[in-house]
């Protein structure tokens, strides 16, 4: 049930920012990193999603990503992703920021997505930085090599690495200037993404969280929906149509 305060804010001229995390794709069948049914139980991202881990065991890290790529290529966006497409169409000033690398927002039809942690479909050479799509190289070797001889790695952001400057700068800017900030399906423990809702709140935004469990952010939020993103987000989209 949406509060009256939130309902009254759901006007087309309100500036809206949505930050999504792994939880929004959970109902599509993409495992999350942490939380109750946090998936990669065998692999802690803090151990595998680092450049050092890649250098010490490139094969293992590459194969983890290959496994996930295959899984992601077989799943579909869920009602939460689709509801955000409706919200993008409704609000005149709408920004979708995602920590996910699965491309499911784009697959659902979201036109503009700020990807903070890269995209699992792309690769880049660790030596010359060249970006390559999956089909542009032969994978006889694991990991495959670039024409310059350097190893290819997924074009995602690992711990200790800088986020793409344009993406994080835009994310900070729109978060500091918004009227409503939705944090959906993120444990809000990985920085700098976890700082965005705080910046929004400091800027006067109404902070809404959607998650199956309480997080680090819950105490700061104006409204917490404890439930599945695929069930709650459509209720927000429905309220917009009724506003």
Catalytic residue positions, numbered = 117
Out of 27, 115, 179, 209, the only residue in the binding site for ligand BJW (CB under 6 A) is 27
Nearer to ligand BJW, 38 or 234 (CB): 38
Q: What length is written for the chain?
A: 243
Q: Is 61 in the site for ligand BJW (CB under 6 A)?
A: no
- Partner whose binding site includes residue 228, from Zn ion, ligand BJW, none (CB under 5 to 8 Å by kind): ligand BJW
- Partner whose binding site includes residue 155, from ligand BJW, Zn ion, none (CB under 5 to 8 Å by kind): none
CB 187 within 8 A of CB 34: yes
CA dihedral 154, 54, 188, 13 (to 10 degrees): -20
Give the residues lining the site for Zn ion (CB under 5 A).
125, 127-128, 130, 146, 148, 150
Smallest gap, in angstroms, from Cβ of residue 22 to ligand BJW? Answer: 3
Residues 223-242, interacting with ligand BJW (CB under 6 A): 228-229
Give the integer Cα–Cα distance in Å for 213 and 226.
6
CB 101 within 8 A of CB 119: yes
Residues 124-153, interacting with ligand BJW (CB under 6 A): none
C-alpha to C-alpha distances, 139 to 128, 151, 217, nearest whole angstrom: 18, 11, 42
- What is the sign of the dihedral through the CA atoms of 223, 226, 230 and 235? negative
**DSSP alpha helix (H) spans, the chain:** 4-9, 23-26, 45-48, 51-56, 58-73, 79-90, 104-108, 165-176, 196-202, 229-242
Looking at beta carbons, which residue is closest to ligand BJW?
A: 23
Which region among 29-37, 127-135, 172-180, 201-209 touches ligand BJW (by CB under 6 A)? 29-37
Q: Is 63 in the site for ligand BJW (CB under 6 A)?
A: no
> Could you give the count of Cα atoms lying within 13 Å of 23 in the half-sphere of its Cβ?
27
Binding site for ligand BJW (CB under 6 A): 21-23, 26-27, 32-36, 38, 45, 49, 99, 101, 117, 156-162, 185-187, 189-192, 210-213, 215, 228-229
């Amino acid at each position: 049930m949406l509060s009256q305060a939130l309902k009254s804010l759901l006007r087309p001229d309100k500036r809206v920012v949505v930050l999504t995390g792994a939880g929004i794709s959970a109902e599509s069948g993409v495992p999350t990193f942490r939380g109750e049914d946090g998936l990669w139980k065998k692999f802690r991202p803090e151990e595998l999603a680092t450049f050092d881990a890649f250098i010490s065991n490139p094969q293992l890290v590459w194969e983890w990503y290959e496994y996930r790529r295959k899984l992601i290529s077989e799943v579909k966006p869920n009602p939460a992703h689709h509801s955000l497409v409706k919200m993008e169409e409704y609000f005149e000033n709408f920004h979708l920021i995602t920590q996910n690398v699965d491309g499911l927002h784009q697959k659902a039809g979201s036109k503009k997505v700020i990807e903070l942690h890269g995209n699992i479909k792309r690769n880049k050479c660790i030596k010359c930085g060249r970006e390559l799509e999956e089909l542009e190289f032969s994978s006889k070797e694991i990991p495959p090599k670039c024409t310059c001889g350097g190893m290819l790695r997924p074009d995602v952001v690992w711990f200790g690495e800088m986020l793409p400057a344009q993406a994080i700068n835009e994310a900070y800017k729109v978060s500091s200037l918004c009227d409503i900030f939705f944090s959906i399906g993120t444990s809000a423990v990985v920085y700098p993404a976890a700082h965005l809702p705080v910046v929004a709140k400091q800027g006067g935004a109404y902070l809404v969280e959607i998650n199956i469990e309480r997080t680090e952010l819950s105490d700061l939020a104006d409204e917490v929906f404890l439930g599945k993103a695929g069930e709650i987000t459509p209720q927000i989209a429905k309220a917009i149509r009724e506003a």
